[in-house]
Chains A and B, each alone.
Chain A
Amino acid sequence: MTRLSRGVDRTVTIAVGLLLVIIGVVAILWRLDAVVDLSRTTDTGAVQNVIQHGWWPWVSGAAGVLMIIAGLRWLAAHLPSARVTELNLPGTGEAGRLRFNASSAAAAAARQFAELPSVRSAQGKVRRDRGQLVVCIDATIDPATDLHQVAEDADRVVADLADVMGRADLYGRVRLKVSTAHRSRLARVT
């Protein structure tokens, strides 16, 4: 999802919310007869007249097609697609075509991290997140790990990766999960 589609989601939700509030308030005022201008019965004659016009089905059909296209496009915007695979090498310039595979560099860093004894597994990828190009490393660590040590190791792996990638506009994030499967040190009782 992009920032734009999040913004659209938010804006439409606010609009629908406001509409519901207005409808609710008007309905209650109508029942309580608190607004002088509201007639006691509804009249949709004007709407029915519009629908009777010869051009109505054309407008209705065209609007329908547009609504379906917009709706499908909107749905597609919710598919996860924030992954980035290739990036320009630093110093390539605007027209430069020197590219490197960012996701495999991230994956290599994750493999390096996973080799540490306290880390069980790690995956690395590059994604766009709220306007930043973020190298994400997700790792699973042992429940008995020394957190200070893991933090230090993760810092080192990320710094190495920064060296490899060489771009100043990259951001880093490491997410650690503690493994549920506990390697028990207790003697098994049978």
Chain B
Amino acid sequence: MTTADSPGRSLQRAKSPVGPGIQPFLGVLWAVALVALGVVAIRDALVRAGLLGGKEWAEEAAKACDNLTPQVWIVPAGAVAVIVGVVLIVTALRPRPKRGIRLAATTGIYLTRSSVQRLAKTAAAAVDGVDTTAIAGGRRKLEVDATTLAAQPEVTRERIEHAIRDRLSALETPPTVKVRIQRSEDAS
């Protein structure tokens, strides 16, 4: 923790970046539903006052729900309601998704996941004999699929692994790197 008095201080490290997750979207959905419900309530009041034609929807709904007996479809419908409900509760309790992979530095410096992939890709592509590369993963594990024109793919594989590790060594916890290599088909 730094204080205002100590010279050569830096800003305190902010909380790690997180994405919005699905919560705000659901919040907007509930808010729109609430507005819609409000509109229906006002409409019903206006219908009763004779300012609008038609029937009151609240009353119609109550009538429609009267004298119902438990049909067979109520079981799958109930099961769906339970599943959707559980999914909603789980989503609400889940923490927001992490964004950004931290660099080893005094202040909070982060790289995006796609950036880490891009760095790995450039590092791999710069290795002699590498033809094509495809990268997946990022935070904990990087998987590299590479093709090579070299006669000894195993050597190239090690070189790629080394190049990527070296490239990402500035990350606080660098991902483990796994390289799969194949000889290019047109290599002769």
Contacts and interface: CB of A to CB of B under 8 A. Distances in A.
Contacts of A178: 111-112, 114-116, 118-119
Given A57-B48, A178-B111, A182-B122, A90 B34 contact: no
Most interface-central of B109, B115, B122 (chain A CB within 10 A): B109
A135 interface: yes
Contacts of B173: none
Contacts of A116: none
A152 B105 contact: yes
B4 interface: yes
Interface residues of B, number: 90
Interface residues of A, number: 91
Interface string B111-144: 1101110110110000000000000000000000
Contact of B78 (A28, A44, A70, A159): A28
A44 B62 contact: yes
Contact of A24 (B13, B70, B72, B85): B85
B31 A71 contact: yes
Contact of A174 (B35, B59, B67, B110): B110
Contact of B38 (A64, A135, A163, A167): A64
B49 A57 contact: yes
A68 B35 contact: yes
B187 interface: no
A42 B26 contact: no
A14 B12 CA distance: 34
B170 interface: yes
Given A16-B88, A27-B77, A178-B114, 14 more contacts: A6-B23, A13-B91, A17-B89, A60-B41, A61-B45, A68-B34, A71-B35, A74-B34, A162-B9, A162-B10, A171-B15, A172-B14, A173-B17, A174-B108
14 contacts: A14-B88, A23-B85, A56-B48, A64-B39, A77-B27, A130-B15, A147-B167, A147-B169, A147-B171, A155-B105, A159-B11, A173-B14, A173-B108, A175-B109
